[in-house]
A and B are shown apart, each in its own frame.
Chain A
Amino acid sequence: MTTRIEAFGEQAFLVVLGGGVDPAVNRRAHRLAAALRDDRAAGGPWATPVPGYESVLVRFDPRVSKAAQAQRRLERLVERVDPAPTSPGDPEADQDTDPHPIVELQVRYGGPDGPDLAPVAERLRLSQSALIDLHAGQTYQVFLLGFSPGFAYLGPLPEALRLPRREVPRPRVPAGSVAIAELQTAVYPAATPGGWHLIGRTDARLWDPAQTPAGAPGPRGSHPIRAARPLRPLS
């Protein structure tokens, strides 16, 4: 579908690429967000862009650019960075030219660390070890961060692991809980309420605002994780 630029309030734009949960579309959203950050450094009126699955929200400072100017600048940027594909499924258009380090997360699956592992395995008609193998066997894309600081929506989950979120969310999940719901998996960075199925736990610290250079929190003070791969700890 064609990219749409929609006003969100009087001081922000939502760039909608469309397509639902699709890793290739999501990579385009991230490229657009990166281009907006670069454009800000070049004098653009942008606040920090917020990628979604298939969109980017960006606020602008009206003291830097009037709305019409900002919109034109955004349109030109979108055309330059995310041109309409000349043919469907153009492989060149999806070149992931910015290789991201893969963060590996040691996960303790099941037991007290993953109280939902057994019931979920039963519901999915898998053995627990098959479920663990499937979950730990993937490298996941970070679709977006949201819900709470450092909460990364990772996916897509293999078909066999998909199920709706819990009927009744927990009022509090342990920090580091590894969870699944629908097409996604995630690690809860802090003890917050949580509606996803808890299958394990990691000690990896995914969020530490103190441990950051001016700018980008993330593991080891580097850029936020773009891809993550759960690993079972060697026993």
Chain B
Amino acid sequence: MLEVISPGLLDTVQDLGFTQGADLGVPRAGACDAWSLAVACRLLGDPPEVAALEMTGSGPTLAVRRTCVVALAGADLGAHVPEEGRLLPPGTAQLVHAGTRIAFDGGRGPEGGTPSGGHGVSGARPTAGWRTYLGLAGGIDVPKALGSRSTCLAGAFGGLEGRALRAGDLLRPGRPDDLGAPGRRWPTGGPDPVRARPLRLLPSPATLGGPAAGAFEALLAGTWRVGAVDRLGLRLDGPPLPADREAAGRLVSRGVIPGAVQVLPDGTPVVLLADAQTVGGYPVAGVVIGADLPWLGQLGPGDRVRFRAITPARARVARTALERRFALLAARLERGPAWDLLADAAG
């Protein structure tokens, strides 16, 4: 069991998101980087349907109140046990002992910008990526709302009381007595959403793209930098996208999906993320493919972004291929050597 001593920039309990309530204004929510969430869960023998802690930019300081196993995946935000000088790198499951803490010493602070900078962070090290996931055995034990343990910040429900973590919050594992996974390590060489690459983009539906003719091509041609990011979306800095203001003004609200690139009235592209509102009235310039959403979820302030075109058929193949890759890597995990001796010796 862990207790929050001081929260990070934005820590929320997430699973894969809400499958109910989309027609009631409930965003999908869930992990912005579902791949890394699944890695953190799988390191502890759990399916991605259990909940983990999503941390953003700079992480919390957590007290270990009861010895347990934790797994980390995603960006390296410098997780370590200060009392032992032991690192908790992403892609590992490790035992943490009661009386010690988990602190995050790297990553980027709220101002973003250069990776090695950091607001109020000492000994910052360069990192890539923006979000990291901490898993507990059996998932984080919080009640389900609308069938999910994700946090709906807009509705203030789900996850841990519908909000970001605060000092004093307790995180309980679903299987508190399960200490069986320490030393597991996710195989290297597989897909890694933290390693940025061009995002593959499909054209938008005709009705939504119409008022932004030329915007799809402009996205492909340009180089963009991430401006502001939150769980709803990320703004891209760069030349404004072309849009027919009058036609755009006539668009009425309809459903949108994470990955859609909206065009604001001033031409700013905004790529929708997990907490995006379920409906929108802005033109859409293009749609990032499902297989690339984890990479989208690892973009932080100041990151460079490029897009490339893809066909719908290849987009579907990419998604299936990613799922298969995950299964193959997870299978190697179970057959890998035990690291228990090393982990226990360090503790």
Residues of A bordering B, CB below 8 Å: 4, 6-12, 14, 16, 20-21, 33, 47-57, 59, 62, 67, 144-151, 153, 189-190, 192, 207, 209-210, 212, 214-218, 224
Instruction: Give the contacting residue for B155; candidates A10, A56, A148; CB below 8 A.
Output: A148
Given known A-B contacts A10-B316, A144-B279, A57 and B255 have beta carbons under 8 A apart: yes
Most-contacted residue by chain A among B24, B154, B289 (CB, 10 A): B24
**27 sampled A-B residue pairs with Cβ under 8 A:** A6-B206, A8-B204, A9-B289, A10-B316, A10-B319, A11-B316, A14-B208, A20-B250, A20-B252, A47-B22, A48-B21, A48-B23, A50-B22, A51-B23, A53-B252, A62-B319, A146-B280, A147-B277, A147-B279, A148-B155, A148-B277, A149-B155, A190-B154, A207-B24, A212-B146, A217-B24, A224-B23
Please name all residues of chain A whose beta carbon is closer than 8 Å to the beta carbon of B147 when the two chains form the complex. 214
In the complex, what distance in Å separates the CA atom of A215 from the CA atom of B152?
Answer: 16
Cα A145 to Cα B255 in complex, Å, equals: 10
Nearest residue, chain B, Cβ from A18: B207
Complex Cα distance, B197 from A223, in Å, reads 44
CB within 8 Å: A-B pair count: 147
Question: Contact: B290 with A52, CB < 8 Å?
Answer: no
CB contacts (< 8 Å) of B259 on chain A: these are 9
B26 to chain A, nearest CB (A): 5
Residues of B in contact with A, size category: 35 or more
Encoded as 1 (CB less than 8 Å from any A CB) or 0, chain B from 304 to 326 comes to 00000000100110011000000
Q: How far is the CA of A224 from the CA of B25 in the complex (A)?
A: 11
Nearest chain A residue, comparing its CB with the CB of B162? A209
CA distance A214 to B155 in the complex (A): 17
Q: Is the CB of A6 within 8 A of B155?
A: no
Report the separation of the CA atoms of residues A149 and B109 in the bound assembly, to the nearest whole angstrom.
Answer: 30
Closest Cβ of chain B to A92, distance in Å, is 26
Instruction: Answer whether residue B336 sits at the interface, using C-beta atoms and an 8 A cutoff.
Output: no
Contact B205 A8 (CB under 8 A): yes
Asked whether any CB of chain A lies closer than 8 Å to the CB of B158, the reply is yes
Q: Are A149 and B22 in contact (CB under 8 A)?
A: no
A157 to chain B, nearest CB (A): 15
Interchain CA distance A216-B21 in the complex, whole Å: 8
B145 at the interface (CB under 8 A from A): yes
The majority secondary structure among interface residues of chain B is mixed
Are B252 and A54 closer than 8 Å at their CB atoms? yes
Is the C-beta of B256 less than 8 angstroms from some C-beta in chain A?
yes
Q: Does the CB pair B146–A144 fall under 8 Å?
A: no
Residue among A7, A20, A148 facing the most chain B CB atoms (10 A cut-off):
A148
A21, B250: Cα distance in complex, Å:
10
- Residues in B12-29 with C-beta less than 8 Å from chain A: 19-26
- Point out the residue from B19, B156, B204 that lies within 8 Å of A48, measured CB to CB: B19
Give the residues in chain B near A47, CB-CB below 8 Å: 19, 22
Instruction: Indicate which residue in A50, A214, A215 contacts B278 across the interface (CB closer than 8 Å).
Output: A50
> Which residue of B19, B20, B253 is within 8 Å of A153 (Cβ)?
B253
CB of B154 within 8 A of CB of A146, answer no
Residues B290 and A55 in contact, CB atoms below 8 Å apart:
no
Report yes or no: A146 in contact with B278, Cβ–Cβ below 8 A.
yes
On whether the beta carbons of B254 and A57 are closer than 8 Å, the reply is yes
14 further interface pairs, Cβ-Cβ under 8 Å (given A48-B22, A59-B257): A20-B252, A48-B19, A49-B23, A52-B254, A55-B255, A57-B256, A57-B257, A146-B253, A146-B278, A146-B279, A148-B25, A209-B157, A215-B20, A224-B23
